[in-house]
Structure 1
């Protein structure tokens, strides 16, 4: 009761505080705060954001209807300089008293800090938007311009400023737009002086973006200007610029039709003399010169090494370190071909992707040996990156495995290791920490009692390395790469302790700026568990469940399995008890069918998590991402991945006659290899709503289906739910499977569905916030798990989809975002019927997540 009264009191106090705020207290008597804009189109009010975005003035931003940033701005004191001066400096007696306590320098510093803090409040908040007639008239002109540029040439616009009748110093603005009949495109003619340009235009005129019969749009004409400029420059017209293109639109007595003429005169002559023009010509590349080690300091030096390959001349001021063929493969500007902007852009992109050069510079000059003035010489200046690059990293972490951990690592990048722009990366990593449970079973008083160490080796080639030619379907402009990597790691006192060996042969290429393809032809992973006897120390929930069964009134088992406290001995007692139940011998009796099934489920999970894994897989990833840079707020990202494992080993096992284990699975060197198919789909969409408001969505679906030599999925390839980047109302690995309630320490399954919705908005300055809803769960399907609560058998199991919701704060440091989210369990499928919704929707049961950058 006291808690409820405290919440009601806090709510009333908050409402009273907001109500006491005066949004217009900083306004002069003749000023009015803009509260609303309304636009009426042909007499009807419209809500199109693209139209309202044309207005110069918009009301102050609001959070749940409250102008938080405006009120924060109003906390700043106007004329703070004079206020502080009057308070501390003009009063001689007070100033002397303060200078007696503080030095004059400290007093000045204090006053300056007050002024700076006052300025920070102003910068962080949002100044009141005052209705301004000049800006309103500019908005009218913008509206007229927008409608005119979209074909309504006879548009008329008016406005009215309407003071509020209920609140003083407030007003709204209404805009009235009358469009009349829109104009449409009719005929399209050309007036092109140069025969070369006219010929190119005629060949590609069907691709025109100005289409007869469509409504006039200025943006279409701008796009057509860009298209023609790119068309001419990619067909050899080196001197062409979009300023040469103009459009003449005739609308006189045309019955709302636009008759268009595309006008392109000849280019300006020498010295840009407007009185003398010459026809455009198609230019051809006669020579390509490449300087592989250019620096500004040696610009006047003589080259000492050169090579002539395929009409390319490769120069070097010192001894040449690059194979000429490797440089030529990255250059798309070819002697004997016409000039093309696309070739130059592709050359820039490819040279940058090699990570061997900085600041590639491409220059064109007229060939002095050509009397027709159509041949160009391309000079490409490359500045090499340092041969060796070192990198170091260090971090401090905490997890459900360790109370405190320190991680460290280093890497060495060796560029151009074989002379063909290949890169070799050698990296090492390690960590030490203090365990939360694993070391408790060991007689060890050390604080840092767990450790992990690993090393990786990665060699990258700037080509697709296959025994057959791939240029026809993966051309060089797609920036193809081949990577071969090896990795090894070992853990000590972490869970079951593992040794991990991996090897990947990978190909990737980018057909466009948005699209990336990746193929892991070979993805080999071997996982060896070193300390399987520690299983029940790590998975305490399973151990407790077994003890609860043993200590049931009707259950009788061998006393050899129990310690003096009547609990199962780890590991022998627990394992013996499980086997006696599985074998249905006379050692254990009195179990109910439900208890027996629980023991079988624990046995299956233990066997799956303690067995060594051999995974030989291949996978393909398709990634479409329209995000252009770090600050792009509206984009789409779609990823599809499919992985298939074990088929090659299965075929070999049929020929080689591999031995089978007691479960009937084929083994290689004593390890049963995994066999499965695993498709995944991941979709992310961001909408920029303006004024730093973003709506973000992510949808994920994945399933891993075992078959052939396997009846389950390895832990490293399974799915989990919960955590700061998933369903934030649950800790990582705590959610699911299904309605089982996350009874294990690390809950995982072979099927996952997730949907995340997030509305992000700015509070003030660099501080942002968000409301979010996270929906999803994991299930077992088509594998060895028989637990009804954990498996997905029909569409009715969608009722076990968990829902979390919450709020978060994010501080933007420009180069990264520090994120704090609070998640509440909104719908918990593990709760009994009638108690699933909002049962733990309070801060006592909330999950607090700290992360770096946005979750998606």
Structure 2
């Protein structure tokens, strides 16, 4: 196998070398392939990315220095049609022979087939034609460079270029730029003709972006225009636009300095064939009219229902279907206040967030009743969505449990259910899938199934018996969600029923910040098939069975006297009880006794039903502006407390504890713990579709009071397509134990990832990545020192996986394949951890949808 791999690798390297030598095969004689744009600024090479973006011609794209797309293009025949016809032109009898064998029509169609034509079209479209130096475009690039440096304050800049040969039919273009001294801003004055705007400008506490001593930058002047315009339009200047702002730059008699005069003229009004000017006015809102059921069909119909509520006028072409407050709570434009753009934006966002209207239309008109013409009427046109909407979906899924899954769902949304803009969502789902990790005695492909029902009722406000406007004002677009759900898993391990419910509050403190407070989050997990434990967790069974073959004294626990395998579930339970009750020869100080005790503790923990009543707060902040923004950070944190309220009630009620010293609810020990998580993601965009992304995560959950461990559903695991990609899901850790269990989990996790993403060709992207992390047990009932985190010295147990990935961008989602290699494995002894399993045989291939972070 290794010899074959070496031969294949050698063949690929030889093919690449041959293609590279032939990179100029499509370059005409007397022409040159552009290999590099070298920008020399004042005698020194410049790596300015923005300056490089001024080029009309750029060299062919490369992948780690290799021009893959150019060489793919060179492999294609440029005119496959004529090549196909030429072979018959030189040998007409060959065409006749093939026509007799097939038919003339089929022979002609063969020339259009993939093998003769399609493959070459594919290579041309996937590849990239050679970039041949064009001096006319080089002149344009030099001119653009001149504008670029001029706009950055170098008013005496000079540019030229020269073409330097670097090999056969290869050359680079060297752009020589002499900037001269950069000009700085000296005095900054303002000339604002309209008294109202002049007064506003003087009272503006925001600092100007133009400061004396700064180097001149055209972008600063554009930003200053936008800053002033935003301020004016948020303080009543309804008719003001950025075009009214001009700058007079004076460099006469100045040495490398420029005086700036900011000029704002009066408002221009066009009247027939002439124009006149008048000072800008500041407008106030005189009326707010809300049309609750507007559409193009009924726009000309008379209003049939109307009402007024807190200075808002609500109109309906049919019967008014909304309680006024449900809509007016979403309106930030109020009567008697100054016109402000930000109020228009907030109103649009809030109304859209109600999910009962299409995106609103907000229009202003001058109120003719005001003789000073300084009043505006705000008209808000709302088009209701359908009250009932029915949806279906069919998804193909992949998760840490399912290798492949098919999920179908049906949903029904009811809008404005209580006439206060509430929405009720009812959905049901069915999932079948395949998992190699599950017990599967019949070897069926679809060995996983789940179905569930979910209800979610959303209120566009904070639903509490007291006012919260001072804490969470309505500009933060608050909402309340009451949810309940039920799901049932079959053939997934122990089989489970999962009941969930809760009430949560969501709001947006700032534009790119979100907050969520789960007042109550209830989860009840009921295991339906706990007797199947040792079929699912086969590693635990094998360990217990090995001990049982030596120490078991009850033949009823065996399947036969020859094999002496413990029977599941009767034999495993019987032998474990015998060991822990002292019937066997094992004593508590024996390693085998402690291992049986550990196996039983884990079995009991994972088969017990869980009841969790938690409260949590989640906050996230991002600088990501849109989907195309690849230069941002995202910070998210969550704190959670579970069981504390139940313990408080139990203490106040003086309830009795059970034999384990724990309180119970519904004859079930509830979980009590505190949990904190911190997640930070940062992306750097280096241009040319090269992005560096990093992620760091820390999470810890500490049991206390009523619990000495964390429920499986709230614990952490390592490995998988969105974690450390060199390990399978649940196959990493805890600590340096070497994943002794089938599904390894713990209550503390550290994870670090770095990924460099780049374009290969077309929509195919590549990535090089490194993932580090592990899970540990801390402050719980696990006593194995290999699994515990006892201090900073245990950070040497951070596992490291490295690898590469291929991604195909389908615009609406990305298909991802990552191959991870175990680079540093803490499961081995110190000194033997690096590159122990760094080979394809121990690599892990991960399939995923979208980027991992």
TM value normalised by structure 2: 0.95
Matched with 2:574 is 576
User: In 2, are the aligned partners of 1:57 and 1:135 still within 8 Å (CA)?
Assistant: yes
Residues 155-174 of structure 1 mapped to structure 2, 5 A cutoff: 155-164=157-166, 167-174=167-174
Residues 99-498 of structure 1 mapped to structure 2, 5 A cutoff: 99-102=99-102, 106-107=106-107, 109-113=109-113, 115=117, 117-164=119-166, 167-204=167-204, 206-271=206-271, 275-395=275-395, 406-432=406-432, 451-498=449-496
Matched with 1:703 is 700
Does 2:785 match 1:797? no
Secondary structure in 2 aligned to 1:270? strand
Matched with 1:612 is 609
Q: 1:12 to 1:90 in 2, by over 3 A?
A: closer
Counterparts of 2:275 and 2:788, CA distance in 1: 82
Q: 1:706 to 1:28 in 2, by over 3 A?
A: same
Counterparts of 1:338 and 1:415, CA distance in 2: 33
Counterparts of 1:163 and 1:82, CA distance in 2: 34
Matched with 1:7 is 5
User: In 2, are the aligned partners of 1:360 and 1:381 still within 8 Å (CA)?
Assistant: yes
Residues 91-149 of structure 1: CA deviation (Å, up to 9, x unaligned): 76555555545556555544445555534322221222222222222222232222222
User: In 1, are the aligned partners of 2:360 and 2:381 still within 8 Å (CA)?
Assistant: yes
Farther-moved stretch of structure 1 (105-114 vs 66-75) = 105-114
Secondary structure in 2 aligned to 1:269? strand
Secondary structure in 2 aligned to 1:690? coil
**1:319 CA displacement:** 1.5
Matched with 1:558 is 554
Farther-moved stretch of structure 1 (262-271 vs 172-181) = 172-181
Farther-moved stretch of structure 1 (697-706 vs 305-314) = 305-314
User: In 1, are the aligned partners of 2:286 and 2:335 still within 8 Å (CA)?
Assistant: yes
Counterparts of 2:174 and 2:65, CA distance in 1: 20
Matched with 1:814 is 811
Counterparts of 2:522 and 2:454, CA distance in 1: 14
**1:399 CA displacement:** 7.3
Counterparts of 1:130 and 1:47, CA distance in 2: 23
Secondary structure in 1 aligned to 2:377? strand
Does 2:765 match 1:768? yes
Counterparts of 1:218 and 1:88, CA distance in 2: 64
Q: Identify unmatched segments of 5+ residues in structure 1.
A: none
**1:811 CA displacement:** 1.2
Counterparts of 1:592 and 1:30, CA distance in 2: 87
Does 2:739 match 1:737? no
**1:575 CA displacement:** 2.4
**1:642 CA displacement:** 0.9
Matched with 1:680 is 677
**1:37 CA displacement:** 2.6
User: In 2, are the aligned partners of 1:658 and 1:668 still within 8 Å (CA)?
Assistant: no
Q: 1:313 to 1:435 in 2, by over 3 A?
A: same
Counterparts of 1:435 and 1:16, CA distance in 2: 41
User: In 2, are the aligned partners of 1:557 and 1:588 still within 8 Å (CA)?
Assistant: no
User: In 1, are the aligned partners of 2:777 and 2:787 still within 8 Å (CA)?
Assistant: yes
**1:11 CA displacement:** 3.0
Does 2:778 match 1:781? yes
Matched with 1:622 is 619
Residues 750-769 of structure 1 mapped to structure 2, 5 A cutoff: 750-769=747-766
User: In 2, are the aligned partners of 1:677 and 1:705 still within 8 Å (CA)?
Assistant: yes
Q: Identify unmatched segments of 5+ residues in structure 2.
A: none
Counterparts of 1:359 and 1:47, CA distance in 2: 45
**1:359 CA displacement:** 3.4
Secondary structure in 2 aligned to 1:749? coil
**1:592 CA displacement:** 7.1
Counterparts of 1:600 and 1:282, CA distance in 2: 79
User: In 2, are the aligned partners of 1:557 and 1:589 still within 8 Å (CA)?
Assistant: no
Q: 1:81 to 1:671 in 2, by over 3 A?
A: same
Q: 1:725 aligns with which of 706, 722, 727?
A: 722
Q: 1:647 to 1:29 in 2, by over 3 A?
A: same
User: In 2, are the aligned partners of 1:193 and 1:266 still within 8 Å (CA)?
Assistant: yes
Counterparts of 2:432 and 2:200, CA distance in 1: 67
Q: 1:269 to 1:448 in 2, by over 3 A?
A: closer
Counterparts of 2:347 and 2:400, CA distance in 1: 49
Counterparts of 2:218 and 2:635, CA distance in 1: 32
Residues 171-230 of structure 1: CA deviation (Å, up to 9, x unaligned): 122223333322222211111111111111111165211112222211111100001111
User: In 1, are the aligned partners of 2:413 and 2:423 still within 8 Å (CA)?
Assistant: yes
User: In 1, are the aligned partners of 2:657 and 2:663 still within 8 Å (CA)?
Assistant: yes
User: In 2, are the aligned partners of 1:268 and 1:274 still within 8 Å (CA)?
Assistant: no
Does 2:673 match 1:671? no
Counterparts of 1:195 and 1:437, CA distance in 2: 76
Counterparts of 1:550 and 1:104, CA distance in 2: 78
TM value normalised by structure 1: 0.94
Alignment length (residue pairs): 847
User: In 2, are the aligned partners of 1:558 and 1:588 still within 8 Å (CA)?
Assistant: no
Q: 1:396 to 1:258 in 2, by over 3 A?
A: closer
Secondary structure in 2 aligned to 1:296? coil
Q: 1:254 to 1:50 in 2, by over 3 A?
A: same
Counterparts of 2:378 and 2:97, CA distance in 1: 77
Residues 280-339 of structure 1: CA deviation (Å, up to 9, x unaligned): 101121112111111111221112111111222211112121112111111111121121
Q: 1:265 to 1:109 in 2, by over 3 A?
A: farther
Farther-moved stretch of structure 1 (787-796 vs 447-456) = 447-456
Secondary structure in 2 aligned to 1:704? strand
Does 2:108 match 1:83? no
Counterparts of 1:636 and 1:447, CA distance in 2: 41
User: In 2, are the aligned partners of 1:439 and 1:450 still within 8 Å (CA)?
Assistant: no
Farther-moved stretch of structure 1 (211-220 vs 176-185) = 176-185
Q: 1:19 aligns with which of 17, 20, 28?
A: 17
Counterparts of 1:330 and 1:225, CA distance in 2: 31
**1:591 CA displacement:** 8.4
Farther-moved stretch of structure 1 (697-706 vs 469-478) = 469-478
User: In 1, are the aligned partners of 2:586 and 2:592 still within 8 Å (CA)?
Assistant: no
What is the CA RMSD across the aligned residues, in angstroms?
2.4
User: In 2, are the aligned partners of 1:423 and 1:459 still within 8 Å (CA)?
Assistant: yes
Counterparts of 1:398 and 1:230, CA distance in 2: 47
Counterparts of 1:135 and 1:617, CA distance in 2: 65
Counterparts of 1:689 and 1:445, CA distance in 2: 49
Counterparts of 1:820 and 1:116, CA distance in 2: 27
